[in-house]
Amino acid sequence: MYAQMVKTDADRVKSLDEMDPQERAFQQRIDAGEKIEPKEWMPEPYRKTLVRQISQHAHSEVVGQLPEGNWITRAPTLERKAILLAKVQDEAGHGLYLYCAAETLGVSRDDLYEQLLAGRAKYSSIFNYPTLSWADIGAIGWLVDGAAIMNQVQLQKTSYGPYSRAMIRICKEESFHQRQGYDIMMKLCAGTAEQKAMAQDAIDRWWWPSLMMFGPSDDASVHSVQSMAWKIKILSNDELRQRFVDQTVPQAEFIGLKVPDPDLKWNEKRQSYDFGEVDWDEFFQVLAGNGPCNRERMASRTRAWEDGAWFREALTAHADKAAKRKATAPIAAE
Ligand SMILES: [Fe+2]
Ligand SMILES: [Fe+2]
């Protein structure tokens, strides 16, 4: 499982000596832990990688509202409904911070959105799975937001200033999301046999897709090596996945749930869990658009985009009018 990283020529990162002076100065700033800010010079591939990563992240926040939104009207109590509503709204906010961070790199939000709707941009494959029971809302908060936090905590230290600052804000809210999910699972596990079975069924279905959220193993991940040299990523996919497993297994055991992995075993020597291989065929199938809910998710986003057209137009017309009024208004006497 922990094979040595095999770097092909395409993956190889240039050494400082091979860089031109501008690139070298840039890399040295990153190596020294400095943040890169929007108007500063950056290599084009650095900018492009960030646009791809930040927009994928933004799309994931926005599409991620759909599986949970499905349960707002069916939450079991008024309190649960209010909590879920707040959580789903937070995800919309995360999408907005992240689209703003991407816009500082010279792309427009409309373009990014159109790429998503045209199927040219990706979002996290996890949101293509259905939410079949209330326990799935618990499993999403606990496992999916939990995996997201594991990834986002390291991104607070990412080299691009606006992305790093967005992450700091987002992480605070994500930890609330994870707790509310775990709280749902705790209550179900302390309930009737049927409720506990519902919680077990949810972890059975969400465990493996959650592990997939960290992306393919490092030896198969095309972007990892350069992204780490640029500190766009700080920890590798496999390291993050391992941390997630180590953190989550004791939480499952604490509430009496079984992690659906026959190969899961504590490794005394590594002081970590050994675990089974993720089904990467399933991951690539879902990524290619063939997951259980891909079409439904895109249809919902497209409908929302089309339904909102009149509002975007009105907003722009109002902003134009206000700007014109301001430009022609007499200057107020002091
Ligand atoms: Fe989020
Ligand atoms: Fe979240």
What residues pack around ion ligand 2 (CB closer than 5 A)?
A: 145, 174, 177
In angstroms, what is the span from residue 87 Cα to ligand 1's centroid?
9
In angstroms, what is the span from residue 46 Cα to ligand 2's centroid?
27
In angstroms, what is the span from residue 72 Cα to ligand 1's centroid?
17
The per-residue pLDDT for range 190-219, each reduced to its tens digit, is: 999 999 999 999 999 999 999 999 999 877
Decide if 116 contacts 289 (C-beta within 8 A): no
CA distance 138 to 132: 12
For residue 1, pLDDT over 80 is answered with no
Q: Which residue has the tokens 């709707």?
A: 117
Helix (H, G, I), strand (E, B) or coil at 122: coil
CA distance 94 to 161: 16
The per-residue pLDDT for range 102-160, each reduced to its tens digit, is: 999 999 999 999 999 999 999 999 999 999 999 999 999 999 999 999 999 999 999 99
In angstroms, what is the span from residue 282 Cα to ligand 1's centroid?
24
In angstroms, what is the span from residue 245 Cα to ligand 1's centroid?
20
**Residue 77 φ then ψ, to 5°:** -135, 165
**DSSP state letter for 286:** I
Going along the chain, which residue ranges are E strands?
265-267, 272-274
Tell me, rounded to whole angstroms, the distance of Cα 63 from its chain centroid. 10
Nearest by Cα to 211 from 291, 273, 280: 280
Residue 274 CB neighbour total at 10 angstroms: 15
Please report which ligand is nearest the Cα atom of 180: 2
Token duo for residue 70: 């499905």
What residues pack around ion ligand 1 (CB closer than 5 A)?
A: 61, 91, 94
